[in-house]
């Protein structure tokens, strides 16, 4: 049986002082039935590595470079993340794809770079509102996933997939559990075509997940947890979501 996974994506928020209070609140909320990860901005990784040392909440980053090293000003490599104790990294978030024009190939290369350093990539796929209304959801997420499966080949079983419908991020809109499950079932079927381990891969939902809808979402057969944005910035809300994974 797949273990639930809840990932907090802090995005470009918080201060050092606020981080300490947030982590304290999250740790007080344990135990959790599943795995919990917090993905912080790069400058805070050192602080969080110290706070989470020996704890059962894992550290993650919000992005990494596709390059191992070199003249890539402003980039952060997967090996640097691993050196700080990051066990997970988000790649291909819709905001990176939109704001930085990241292609499916770049996202796949980032996932490959992360795996090479022993860091688990959380690969994001998802459709915009226009694409959904045009009936293109299946084509869009299949295209995004196919590039990753082709690039990673036999290593695809080592990643996490997060479906984040762009129209439901920070808008207050949320896919119904049935809508979310339909896309997750599609993703798992596509994975089954390329790996015998498809039933073991964890698929997360990321789109305005909150304490009051987490349980109904996480109870769906192909939804194994969530990629949480705004709700991960409040300890009580995030803890409630983590406990919904039970």
Catalytic residue (one of 93, 95, 163, 184): 93
| Domain boundaries of the chain, sorted by first residue | 5-244
CA distance 79 to 178: 39
Kindly report, residue by residue over 39-55, the tens digit of the pLDDT.
Answer: 999 999 999 999 999 99
Tokens in use for 34?
Answer: 């599943």
Strand-pair category, 35-40 with 120-125: unpaired
Q: What is the pTM of this model?
A: 0.96
93 is catalytic: yes
Kindly report, residue by residue over 161-207, the tens digit of the pLDDT.
Answer: 999 998 877 676 778 999 999 999 999 999 999 999 999 999 999 98
Question: What is the pLDDT averaged over residues 26-51?
Answer: 97
Q: Is 70 left (phi over 0), alpha (psi -120 to 50) or beta?
A: left
The CATH H-level (homologous superfamily) assignment of domain 5-244 is Aldolase class I (3.20.20.70)
Catalytic residue (one of 95, 102, 127, 164): 164
Q: Output the pLDDT for position 68.
A: 96
């Amino acid at each position: 049986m797949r273990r639930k996974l809840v990932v907090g994506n802090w995005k470009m928020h918080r201060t050092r002082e606020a981080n300490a209070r947030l982590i304290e609140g999250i740790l007080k909320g344990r135990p959790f039935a599943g795995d919990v990860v917090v993905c912080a901005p790069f400058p805070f990784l050192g602080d969080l590595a110290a706070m989470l040392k020996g704890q059962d909440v894992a550290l993650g980053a919000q992005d990494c470079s596709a390059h191992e090293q070199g003249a890539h000003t402003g980039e952060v490599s997967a090996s640097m993340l691993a050196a700080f104790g990051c066990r997970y990294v988000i790649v291909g978030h819709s905001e990176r794809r939109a704001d930085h024009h990241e292609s499916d190939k770049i996202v796949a290369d980032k996932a490959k770079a992360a795996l090479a350093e022993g860091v688990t990539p959380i690969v994001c796929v998802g459709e915009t509102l226009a694409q959904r209304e045009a009936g293109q959801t299946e084509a869009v997420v299949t295209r995004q996933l196919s590039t990753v499966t082709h690039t990673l080949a036999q290593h695809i079983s080592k990643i996490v997939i997060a479906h984040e419908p762009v129209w439901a991020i920070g808008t207050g809109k949320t896919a119904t559990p049935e809508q979310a499950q339909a896309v997750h079932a599609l993703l798992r079927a596509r994975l089954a075509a390329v790996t015998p381990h498809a039933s073991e891969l964890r698929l997360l939902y990321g789109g305005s997940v909150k304490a009051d809808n987490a349980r109904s979402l996480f109870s769906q057969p192909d939804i194994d947890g969530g990629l949480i944005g705004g709700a991960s910035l409040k300890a009580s809300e995030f803890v409630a979501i983590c406990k919904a994974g039970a």
